[in-house]
Structure 1
C-alpha cells in the first residue's frame, strides 16, 4: 500500500489534473502584451490566448515551468519574471499560476516545443487593442484575461 502511494507521489501528474502556468510577455516601454493564436486540435479551431503550459515535471518549481514554457512556445526569454497571481483548485478547476515576463527577447537557440498544437499568428497589443479583442469576443473573459488586465495596470 505504501509503495503504491509513494509511486503516485513521484509520477508525472495526469494531464487534466496538472497545474498550469500562464506567462504574459510584456513590453514595459510600449505597454504591450504578447498574444498567440493557436490551433488547438482538441477543439479543431484557433484561439487567441496567452503562453501557457501544464506543470508536468515533478522535479521543477512553478517559475521554472513558466520560464520553459516561454522558451518552448514562443522562443523567448526574459531576465525579469514576476509572479502575478495563483489560484487554488476550486470546483474542479486546475490551479493556475500567472507570471509576467518583462521585455522578453527572442532566443538564439530555443528548445523544441513538444506540443502538438501549433501557433498560427502572434501579436503585441496595447490595452486599447486588448479591450477591443475582449469586446469583439476574440478573447474570452476568464481568469487569464482578468490577470492580463492586472498586468496592464502594473505598468500604467
Structure 2
C-alpha cells in the first residue's frame, strides 16, 4: 500500500490547489482520537479539527507529509501509520489523504511548526464524545468527520 502513496509532485501547487493530509492520532487501548482546536487567522475564529496540512514539499510523498504534520502540529510521533482513505479532486475540491497514527507518543524534541495558525485546545475523545461534538456542531459534517467515524468503527471491530 505504501507504494501507492509514493506520488511525487512535479511543481509546488498554490495553497488552494495542493493536496491535503489529515491525521487521526488514535489510542487503540482506550479507543480515543485526538482532536485539536485551532485559531485560523483567515477566518478569525477557532475550529475543532484534525491534525492536517498541505502537501507542499515536492520531494516528499504523502505519508512523509502525514508523519511531519503529526510532529509539527501536536509534537507526536507514531511507529504505525495506517492509510485510511484518499479522495480524488472532484468538483473543485482538493485531493485529501486520511491517515491513522496508532498509539502516538509525545516527542522530546519536536520540529518547529511553520504554520501561522495556532492550537488553542486539544483533547482525547471517544466515539460518544466525538458524536456529541458533531451533534453540538462543534465539528462540521464533512469528509474528514466521516473518515474519523470510520476510524472509530475500525477499532470498535478490532476490539470486539
For the criterion TM > 0.5, the same-fold answer is yes
Q: 1:25 is matched with which residue?
A: 25
Q: 1:38 is matched with which residue?
A: 38
Q: 1:65 is matched with which residue?
A: 65
Unaligned runs of 5+ in 1: 1-8
Q: 1:47 is matched with which residue?
A: 47
How far apart in 1 are the matches of 2:23 and 2:146? Answer: 13
Q: 2:136 is matched with which residue?
A: 136
Runs of 4 or more consecutive aligned structure 1 residues displaced over 4 Å after TM superposition: none
How far apart in 2 are the matches of 1:10 and 1:62? Answer: 14
TM-score (norm 2): 0.91
Q: Which is greater in Rg?
A: 1
Q: 2:110 is matched with which residue?
A: 110
How far apart in 1 are the matches of 2:56 and 2:45? Answer: 25
Unaligned runs of 5+ in 2: 1-8
TM-score (norm 1): 0.94
Alignment RMSD (CA, Å)? 0.8
- Number of aligned positions between the proteins: 148
How far apart in 2 are the matches of 1:101 and 1:45? Answer: 27
Q: 1:6 is matched with which residue?
A: none
Q: 2:5 is matched with which residue?
A: none
SS in 1 for 2:108: coil
How far apart in 2 are the matches of 1:38 and 1:92? Answer: 25
